[in-house]
């Protein structure tokens, strides 16, 4: 049973929105998106596995430890026999997990090497926290850390023998082996209570936006032109593209959706004018009123709240 579903990370949505406005962020976006693709690949594998044993799945489980540091566990699987912690890696090439040096080395086909933080250390950090919580809650279950590689062109090289490190296609087999190795040690009621405790301790920290790069194009964008063109000349309830001359009546609602992702849900009249390239305060006020946005504050201090779905009022 899936208790928590995976959603697109706020950071990825932020980068995806920025990428439309700044092509220099492509490599950074690709790195973050690759991780998300890998996690979704593992989720698909779970969906294809039928388990008779009672279990609960938490995708993208986040919790804060006593030092107020966040633990982000890609997948947390609990059953009556064991707990499985999964760290996902979507990286191509030969992958070597160096236990002695605590390094994770990727070797490309051309011999180029990249050295990363070892995911074993990361998953061990998660394991220690979960074991501490189990002790506190009086629940005895073995906690097994696992690293799942999802890239079809990955070659798993050196790995410590006492860690589960395997390709995603082996998930079904590894689960079967774990069920054969570990017998149930808690009751269904205890497992349910553990699920409740994990949910109660789930804490997703607010997303902290990074500074928008200087070269980023702001405002409403032409959906037709590439490279990106900022719409200009607001007339007759529409923006005009200076390149293709097309006019768009939905440019402001779409632009506000991007603004919310990039800057947050609050916008002032001044910020509205700066973002859309308008000078007239009264025109901006009429447009904001026509959008029927909730607001707080009075006059110059008034802030408008951008909803998830922005549309013109009737």
Q: Which residues pair with 144 in a beta bridge?
A: 84
Query: Are 62 and 201 in contact, with CB atoms under 8 Å apart?
Result: no
Average pLDDT, integer, range 36-52: 96
Q: Is 6 helix (H, G, I), strand (E, B) or coil?
A: coil
pLDDT: which is higher, 299 or 68: 68
Does residue 39 have a pLDDT over 60? yes
Give me the chain's average pLDDT, please. Answer: 94
CA distance 216 to 255: 14
pLDDT of residue 300: 79
Beta-ladder partners of 314? none
Half-sphere CA count of 126, side-chain side, radius 13 A:
25
Cβ atoms of 31 and 37 closer than 8 Å: no
Of 9-18, 49-58, 134-143, 221-230, which range is least confident? 221-230
b/e code 88-111 from CB counts within 10 Å (16+ = b): bbbbebbbbbbeeeeebbbeeeee
Rounded to 10 degrees, the C-alpha dihedral 67/71/77/83 comes to -40
Structure-token match 């999964």, residue found? 86
String of DSSP letters for 83-95: EEEEEEE---EEE
Half-sphere exposure of 240 (CA within 13 A, CB side): 7
pLDDT in tens, 127-170: 999 999 999 999 999 999 999 999 999 999 999 988 999 999 99
**pLDDT confidence of residue 311:** 87
Beta strands, E only, the chain: 2-4, 55-64, 70-79, 83-89, 93-98, 103-107, 113-117, 143-149, 154-156, 164-167, 232-235, 238-240, 247-248, 266-267, 294-296, 303-305
Backbone angles phi, psi at 217, to 5 degrees: -85, 125
Instruction: With H, G, I as helix, E, B as strand and everything else as coil, classify residue 16.
Output: helix
pLDDT tens-digit series, residues 199-255? 999 998 889 999 999 899 999 999 999 889 999 888 878 999 999 999 999 999 999
Interatomic CA distance for residues 118 and 14, integer angstroms: 26
- What is the CA 143 to chain-centroid distance, rounded? 25
- What pLDDT is recorded for position 227? 85
CA-based max dimension of the chain? 72
Query: Encoding tokens for residue 14?
Result: 């932020």
Q: Quick one: CA torsion of 10, 13, 15, 17, rounded to 10 degrees?
A: -140
Q: What is the pLDDT of residue 230?
A: 94
Q: CA of 72: how far to CAs of 51, 58, 59, 303, in Å?
A: 25, 11, 10, 33
Distance (Å, whole) CA 311 – CA 314: 9
Per cent of the chain over pLDDT 90 is 91
Query: Does pLDDT of 313 surpass 70?
Result: no
In whole angstroms, what is the distance from residue 241 CA to residue 247 CA?
Answer: 6
pLDDT tier, 81 (very low <50, low <70, confident <90, very high otherwise): very high
Q: Which domains does the chain have, with CATH numbers?
A: 2-200 (no CATH), 232-305 (1.10.10)
Peptide bond into 227 cis (omega under 30): yes
Q: What is the pLDDT of residues 89-125, one digit of tens each?
A: 999 999 999 988 999 999 999 999 999 989 999 999 9
């Amino acid at each position: 049973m899936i208790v928590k579903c995976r959603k697109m990370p706020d950071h990825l949505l932020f980068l995806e929105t920025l990428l439309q406005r700044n092509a220099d962020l492509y490599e950074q976006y690709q790195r973050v998106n690759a991780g998300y693709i890998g996690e979704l690949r593992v989720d698909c594998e779970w969906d294809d596995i039928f388990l008779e044993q009672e279990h609960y799945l938490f995708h993208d489980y986040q919790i804060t430890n006593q030092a107020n540091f966040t633990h982000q566990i890609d997948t947390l699987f609990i059953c009556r026999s064991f707990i499985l912690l999964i760290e996902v890696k979507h990286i191509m090439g030969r992958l070597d997990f160096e236990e002695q040096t605590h390094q994770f080395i990727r070797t490309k086909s051309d011999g180029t090497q990249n050295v990363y933080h070892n995911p074993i250390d990361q998953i061990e950090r998660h394991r220690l926290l979960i074991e501490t919580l189990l002790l506190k809650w009086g629940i005895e279950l073995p906690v097994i850390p696992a690293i799942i590689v999802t890239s079809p062109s990955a070659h798993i090289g050196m790995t410590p023998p006492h860690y589960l490190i395997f390709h995603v296609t082996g998930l079904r087999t590894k689960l079967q082996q774990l069920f054969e190795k570990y017998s149930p040690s808690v009751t269904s009621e205890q497992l349910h209570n553990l699920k409740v405790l994990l949910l109660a301790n789930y804490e997703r920290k607010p997303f902290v936006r990074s500074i928008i790069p200087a070269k980023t194009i702001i405002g409403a964008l032409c959906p037709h032109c590439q490279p990106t063109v900022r719409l200009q000349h607001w007339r007759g309830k529409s923006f005009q593209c200076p390149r293709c001359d097309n006019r768009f009546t939905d440019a402001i609602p779409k632009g506000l959706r991007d603004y919310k992702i990039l800057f947050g849900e609050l916008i002032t009249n001044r910020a509205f004018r700066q973002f859309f390239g308008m000078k007239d305060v009264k025109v901006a006020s009429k447009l904001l009123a026509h959008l029927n946005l909730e607001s707080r504050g009075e006059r110059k201090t008034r802030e408008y709240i951008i909803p998830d779905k922005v549309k013109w009022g009737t």
